[in-house]
Structure 1
Amino acid sequence: MIRVLLVDDHPVVRAGYQRLLEQQGDIAVVAQAGDAQEAFALFCQTQPDLVISDISMPGSSGLALIQRLREREPRCRILIFSMHDSEAMMRRALDLGASGFVSKSSAPEALLEAVRSVHAGRVYLPPSAPAEADLSCLSPREYEVFRLLASGHSLQDCAKALQLSAKTVSNHQTLIKEKLGLSSLAALALLAVRQGLV
């Protein structure tokens, strides 16, 4: 059973999502919150497998909530479900630690697919998310490091797999981020997902 905390400031919207999710039989909404403060308290109480949150809410935003939740529980899985589906907003949410992003204009099936994807440890993005950054600027070695890091391997794992020192892999990672204009490992993973590499 996938235990979900649902965060949205509209009770009617939450009720609709709850009905959709619980009809599946393998998803249970264990708590609902109308703002980030309440969501954080309920997260600490219920320890859900997954948080589905809007971005626009009274008080703290969903982006601030991502940060607080990740500080409290670095492995927590957060799916953003928002009408603000711009490229910049998506990238910001993923940079802060969200595991997926679904537009509220998507079909209901997209939300269900996203919940199962994120629960399984994958990054979920809408099929329409635009591709970017050309990977051909990477050297063959940088490309290998990029692929391994994007698949969730640590610097140590990469070093072992490629028979390099961790310091060399770290240098490659810095160069890769610079060449591709990426600010974090989350952004790197996002790009790899978009390019169909993971």
Structure 2
Amino acid sequence: MINIAITDDHPLLLEGLKNILSKEEDFHVIGCFPDAKSTLAFLSETPPQVLLLDINLPDANSLDLVADMKRKYPDLRILIISVHNEYAVIKSMLDQGANGYVQKNSSVDDIVTGIKTILLGDTYVCSQTKFILESKQQDTLLRVPKLTRREKEILQEAAQGFTTIQIAERLFISPHTVESHRKNLIEKFSTKNLSSVIKLALEYGLIRQ
């Protein structure tokens, strides 16, 4: 039997999810909560295997809440149930430790499959969420400039705070060459300065922090 808790500040949705999941032979809904406070109190006493969590709660920042739950209850599987379909929101929740993300207009099968999938240790996202993530990734790939080995080296050095002269000394090249590469990088990334280039390069995974 899979013990499940549900947290959502909309009573009708909370009751609806409870009724739907209770019909599943292997599922047992052991708690329903309207806010973070009551959820955390319950978890401290009777932690379920899976928590279905809405991210619009009246008394908590959802990112901090998920991080806190995963820190205190590392075995807890969290499936986000949300109306938000923005890439930044989805990625932030998954990065904070949520095990899955399902849109609220998804099918019952999506939720059931999501619960079973995350219990196996895998990440689950519904088809709508998957499309959003893949579209963003594809868009990023199209926008990532191709860099030469030397450009990557100079960018990595600049990201670590080294000046033009210091970079030249460390790479055994002239300051003029470093400056030329810096200008080329700014042009390739279509930014106004190297700081913006570094920020984008980190986001694209071209260099490391």
Please report the TM-score for the alignment, with normalisation by the length of structure 2: 0.63
Task: Indicate if the aligned counterparts of 1:102 and 1:110 stay in contact, CA closer than 8 A.
Answer: yes
Partner of 1:37: 37
- Percent of matched pairs sharing the same residue: 28
State the shift of 1:10 in Å: 1.5
Q: 1:140-159: per-residue Cα shift (whole Å, max 9, x none)?
A: xxxxxxxxxxxxxxxxxxxx
Q: Per chain length, whose mean CA-contact separation is higher, i.e. which structure has more relative contact order (CA < 8 Å, sep 6+)?
A: 1
Distance 1:69 1:52 in 2: 13
Does the C-alpha gap of structure 1 residues 76 and 180 become closer, same or farther in structure 2, counting only changes over 3 Å? Answer: farther
1:1-198 maps to which residues of 2 (within 5 A)? 1-128=1-128, 129=130, 130-131=133-134, 132=137, 134=141, 178=202, 180-181=204-205
Task: Indicate if the aligned counterparts of 1:5 and 1:43 stay in contact, CA closer than 8 A.
Answer: no
State the shift of 1:74 in Å: 2.2
Distance 2:205 2:87 in 1: 15
Q: 1:166-193: per-residue Cα shift (whole Å, max 9, x none)?
A: xxxxxxxxxxx958439xxxxxxxxxxx
Partner of 1:154: none
Code of the aligned partner of 2:54: D
Distance 1:101 1:181 in 2: 24
| Secondary structure of residue in 1 paired with 2:124 | coil
Structure 1 stretches lacking a partner, 5+ long: 138-176, 183-198
Larger radius of gyration: 2
State the shift of 1:95 in Å: 0.8
Total equivalences in the alignment: 143
Structure 2 stretches lacking a partner, 5+ long: 147-200
CA RMSD of aligned residues (A): 2.3
Deviates more, 1:100-109 or 1:69-78: 69-78
| Secondary structure of residue in 2 paired with 1:84 | coil
Partner of 1:186: none
